[in-house]
């Protein structure tokens, strides 16, 4: 189904009035900048992998999730 078309000025006016503008958006084509995944290879010593696996098991999540979460905490300490 084709979305309705309106000008940017009309869109802004509706948005500023608090009117739901989602019918004018093509959400299936939307992207969030900076969230594209990139593969990175990192070598860890065996003892560190064991500790990561232990923590992942304790939390019920994957090793990769533990690593991502911890790195995110260090990069953005106020977000956690």
Q: What domain count does the chain have?
A: 2
Residues 37 and 26 in one domain: no
pLDDT for 29 beyond 90: no
Could you tell me the two tokens for 32? 């969030």
Residues 46 and 74 in one domain: yes
* Length of the chain in terms of residues written: 80
Lowest-pLDDT choice from 37-41, 43-47, 65-69: 37-41
Q: Quick one: pLDDT at residue 48?
A: 97
pLDDT for 75 beyond 90: yes
pLDDT for 23 beyond 60: yes
Q: Which residues have C-beta within 8 Å of that of residue 21, sequence separation ≥ 6?
A: 11, 14, 15
Distance CA 25, CA 17 (A): 17
Q: Quick one: pLDDT at residue 31?
A: 85
Residues 21 and 38 in one domain: no
State which residues form the domain around 20.
1-30
Residues 25 and 50 in one domain: no
Residues 25 and 37 in one domain: no
- Indicate the average pLDDT of the chain: 91
Distance CA 58, CA 68 (A): 16
Residues 7 and 46 in one domain: no
Residues 19 and 45 in one domain: no
Q: Whole-model pTM?
A: 0.57
């Amino acid at each position: 189904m084709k979305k309705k078309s309106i000008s940017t000025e009309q869109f802004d006016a509706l948005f500023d009035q608090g009117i739901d503008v989602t019918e004018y958006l093509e959400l299936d084509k939307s992207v969030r900048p900076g969230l594209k995944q990139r593969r990175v290879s990192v070598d860890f010593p065996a003892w560190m992998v064991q500790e990561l696996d232990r923590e992942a098991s304790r939390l019920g999540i994957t090793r990769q999730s533990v690593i991502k979460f911890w790195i995110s905490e260090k990069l953005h300490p106020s977000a956690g």
